[in-house]
Every structure is written in C-alpha cells, then in structure tokens.
Copies of this chain bind each other. A is one copy, B any other.
C-alpha cells in the first residue's frame, strides 16, 4: 500500500529558510517562534517579518519528534457512527471539550470506532499521535482502555467499569442519585405501577441509573419488575417499551434512562393508544435537545453535559502539565427539570 504523491507542490518553508531570510541562526528562529523571552527585540522583529513573508508554519512531525509532545488529544468513542451522531448528548460533550481546548493550543482528534478490526484505534493512540486521551461511552467489553493509561494520561467521561477505577480519572454525575430524583417524581405525582427502560447494562451509566430506580422503589415498597433493557438508542428503547407494555400493560409511570430513548418510548406509547402524561407519565434523563424535540416536552433529569466535557478536557490538560493535585473524580450535580411528560 505504498503511495507517492506525484503532483508537484511548493515545499513548505523550514526553520532553515526563515533563518536565512532573517540573517540569523536556526536556533534563534526557533526561539522566536516558541516565544522565548531571551531574544533581542530587533531580532524578534526581523524574524517575525521573515516568518510572515515565507508564510512559515512549524512542521508538526519534526517538532513532536524533538519535543516528544504532539499538542494533540484524542477523544475516543467506542460506538458506531450512527449512535454517536444520533444522540445530542455527545454533541454537548464534544462542544464542552472543544470550548476548553480552544483556550489552549491543543487540537482534538476524534476517534469513533466500535468495530475496530485491526485495532487501528489503539495503534493510532500508541503511535504517539496524541499526548493524552478522553474516553466517553465505553462499555465493559472495551478492555483496551485499561492498557491505555499505562501509555498516556487518560480521562473518562463517566465512571470507568474497569477494576482499577481507583486510580482512574473521570468526570461524571451521580447517576444513581439522578435516577432517584426522576423516579421519585413519578411516585410524587401518584403513579402506582412504575417501570423503567434502562440504558445499556454493559455501561456504568446504564447500571447506575437502574440501581437508582430500583433503590427508590424499594424504599417505598413498590415492585421493581417492570424493567426492560434498552441500549441508549431510540429504536432500542422502542423495542424495549413494546416488550414492557406486553408484559405489564398496567404501567402508568416510566423512568427512561435517556431523553433519546424516551422519545422512542413515546412513539410506542402513542401506538398503543396511551396518552402522556395522562395514561403513562414519563421521566427522561440528560435534558438534551431531544427532551424538547418530541411531541411532548419531557420532564427529565438534567445533567450538565457541556460542562462535563469542559471538565474532562480541563482535567486532562492539568494532568498534562504535571499538576499533582488534579482530583481523580469530578462529580457534577443533577437536577429535575419539570416539563409536560410527568
């Protein structure tokens, strides 16, 4: 798979060329480019002129080979493309990450890959392409993440499911507590038969939200059998809702582990001729744009997704500077948002 570019293109200017134009040494140009203070003003000026004249941009490969840094970070998303693009939650997180990165001179490399035949993603990471990695939406099966921390600083979005999570850095909300908030709402408005469409149960967020749901019902002596597992997609939630409705037709309250899934559930409820919140009250999770995109504005458990992305990037950046006092876990607050569905 060797390839060679045939088309002739003007070679990028190098430090050497800039030095020649400015009449100084390569080292001096390097100092100016990297903002060293130990350079006389007039030389800084002449070098700057030369840089602009030649339109010089440092070669990243050479720079990172010498400095052993890439000034790039990776956002690893072990999902398939459709799930990644389908859920507004990811958009918010990425937005937060880039907002933080825009204040630095790090760039972000987005790596979306569930099916990764040749371990291409891992190779990419280990080839020294990035200085650190952000990992969101990882599943229990994604074993490679454990190894990654031995290679570079890693920060998770959502508590990691690996055993050694004591050492891991992550940003999350208290998913169980959030789920309690949502479930309690259903109790408070007088629902008697409360069920749940859970998230993917191979993900910490899915597990913890289910735990919070069960804990709340247990506390008041309600049964917790009306649960069907979803996978954090609208289609998966629709299927789960169908199963639940067949099994427990009397459900009148539903805690759904994400807004996107709630939208899916909403559609099925309509199919079955059930009104929301009349026949069935629904509480979602996320408070993403999906919450207000459907036919019924969703009452939901808000989590600060954008801020979480920001915090993730911030944590990683601080680790990269060698800051020893970076907290391993950053837990952000959730709160209940009341709208029409419950």
Question: Which A residues have a C-beta under 8 Å from some C-beta of B?
Answer: 1, 3-7, 9-10, 12, 57-62, 64-65, 69-70, 81-82, 84-86, 88, 90-91, 94-95, 98, 102, 104-105, 107, 109-110, 112-113, 117, 120, 123-124, 126-129, 131, 150-153, 289, 295, 319-322, 324
CA distance A9 to B147 in the complex (A): 12
Knowing that A81-B91, A82-B91 are A-B contacts, what are 7 other residue pairs whose CB atoms are under 8 Å apart, sorted by A's residue number?
A4-B321, A6-B324, A57-B123, A59-B127, A59-B128, A61-B64, A81-B95
Q: Which one, B59, B85, B109, B110, contacts A90 given CB within 8 A?
A: B85
**In the complex this chain forms, how many copies of it are found?**
2
A9 touches B150 (CB 8 A): yes
Residue of B nearest to A113 (CB): B98
Chain B residue at smallest Cβ distance from A75: B110
Q: What are 25 sample pairs from A and B whose C-beta atoms fall under 8 A apart?
A: A1-B105, A3-B320, A4-B321, A5-B69, A5-B131, A5-B320, A6-B324, A7-B322, A9-B152, A10-B150, A12-B151, A57-B126, A57-B127, A59-B65, A61-B64, A61-B70, A61-B128, A81-B98, A82-B91, A84-B91, A86-B88, A98-B113, A105-B120, A107-B124, A109-B110
